[in-house]
Amino acid sequence: MIDVTAETEKKPLIRQRADPYMYFHTDGYYYFTASVPEYDRIELRRSWTITGLADAEPVVVWRKHADGPMSWHIWAPEIHFIDGKWFIYFAAGQAQDPWYIRTWVLECDSPDPFADGWREKGQLVPEWDSFQLDTTVFEHAGKLYAVWAQKRKERKENSVLYIAHMPNPYTIEYPQVMLSYPEYGWECSGFSVNEGPAVIERNGRVFVTYSASATDAAYCMGLLYADSSADLLNPSSWKKLPEPVFVTNAGRGIFGPGHNSFTTDRTGNIDILVYHARPYADVDLDFALYDPNRHTWVKRFTWNSDGFPVFDA
């Protein structure tokens, strides 16, 4: 059965769901979570097909606190299955200071993540305390790594990207290593931002896509890569492409694409880009995060003769 088609790619898959994360599990289900417009809860949905997620019933597995940590701006959840347990990583502020954004972890022992078994595991604590969000995790060569966006000690940019080894799914091992900072013009439009990392390994390389600039039509995706055999905690192992790899396409009605994740079709032979974008260009930067119309889209992508992903046809 062909799930994602040219027709599927022409319109949003799920409306008003930003920062989408999709995961194809060994039980045969596609799992999906994303930021909801109210920024007040974490939802999961699942389906046997990618397109079926559009009509799948969302189930709330966690709600924000009334006060204190995890009480405001519940952002960018990701669901992962690690060593037989489910984990959700998400960013959250607090009512007294909505921009005191940090990363938190939920854990579920049940084989069924829709069971009422989620518990708060605590904060994913980085090497220093500052604005932190968009954590993703991945396994490589038998080790678990985290990649996330954070304001660095010097507070120069809004956010840069870091990587670190994880001795377990809820702990960052120090030192953390900077992967990328906003340095090109396309990374600094409106705000100087590197955020929303996603990892895919193909063709002897580890690739990290990320999003850059403010969340208007300038928002776009960049690409980092390292050899699979390299030390991923050595900054010199990583290279950055000088141009973005996925940008606004006004002709297709896709504006500010970014904050992606990756999945595949059921055969594993077709790679799928999952991302959010708006259907229009005009947005007030002061209120962009509260414009609910960042929709989830999906798109097949291929690889060029040099082994690099090709997102924008």
Annotated active-site positions, please?
Answer: 19, 195
Distance in angstroms (rounded) separating the CA atoms of residues 310 and 304:
7
Distance in angstroms (rounded) separating the CA atoms of residues 176 and 130:
13
- Residue 104 and residue 42 in contact, taking contact as beta carbons nearer than 8 Å: no
- Provide DSSP, 257-298: EEEEEEEE-TTS-SEEEEEEEES-S---GGGGGG----EEEE
Q: What is the radius of gyration, based on Cα positions, of the chain?
A: 18
Looking at the DSSP assignment, which residues form a beta bridge with residue 113? none
The CB-based long-range contact list for 124-130 (8 Å cut-off, 24+ gap) reads 124/89, 124/148, 124/170, 124/171, 124/172, 125/171, 125/172, 126/150, 126/162, 126/164, 126/172, 126/176, 127/164, 127/172, 127/174, 127/175, 127/176, 128/153, 129/102, 130/155
Phi, psi of 305 (to 5 degrees): -65, -20
